Amino acid sequence: MSFYTFARTVVKQVLTPLYRIEVSGVEHIPKEGAVIICANHISNLDPPVVGITCPRPVHFMAKEELFRTPIVKQLVSRLHAFPVRRGMGDREALRTGLALLKEKKVLGLFPEGTRSKDGKLRKGLAGAGFFALRSEAVVVPCAIVGPYRIGKRLKVVYGAPIDFTPWRERKASADEVTAVIMEHIQQLLHEHQ
């Protein structure tokens, strides 16, 4: 058993009853091939929650600061995270993300870039659109319907994949594609709140 699988099992056993996690739409996540999961961001617990509810291993970008301490760096790396410098176009992180998608893996993104303080969906950053346009990955929107309160139900809803072939063909901008992704996340939030 890999460290990721072990950690996922332990975290799932802790978080699922604690937050009464209810998952729907996992059938929308392809069993193989490159996938980008784009979710709203309301808590530091969002990455582990997406990680335990997605049936496939998920690779996340994590803030570069986490990789400065050797022990933490080793831990987050073994949990399939890779560093990103926030607030600037981090070419290395973009290359790593595209390489993972080329290897037909699952990339987990929070297009808002940072947590929403009030739980409302904010404008998405161009990174999500960049990955959608520059890869052949299937994009699956995800809504985390909170708040995180012990004993209260937390919903994780995966929506139908978005086909970006028409946007790729007409060379749409990354901002335009990110806006479409955010609309799909907002729709899921609206339907399940």
Which CATH number fits the domain that encloses residue 128?
A: 3.40.1130.10
Report, as an integer, the average pLDDT of 55-76.
91
In the structure, what pLDDT confidence band is assigned to residue 117 with cuts at 50, 70 and 90? confident
Domain count along the chain: 1
Helix (H, G, I), strand (E, B) or coil at 32: coil
Residue 150's domain spans which residues?
Answer: 3-192
88 has a pLDDT exceeding 60: no
Ramachandran bin of 125, using left for φ above 0, alpha for ψ from -120 to 50, beta for the remaining angles: beta
Report, as an integer, the average pLDDT of 143-159.
96
For residue 67, with 0-12 CB atoms within 10 Å meaning exposed, 13-18 middle and 19 or more buried, which class applies?
Answer: middle
Q: Which of 2-11, 32-41, 111-120, 152-161 has the lowest mean pLDDT?
A: 111-120
CB contact at 8 A, 72 and 22: no
Q: How many angstroms separate the most distant Cα atoms in the chain?
A: 47
162 has a pLDDT exceeding 60: yes
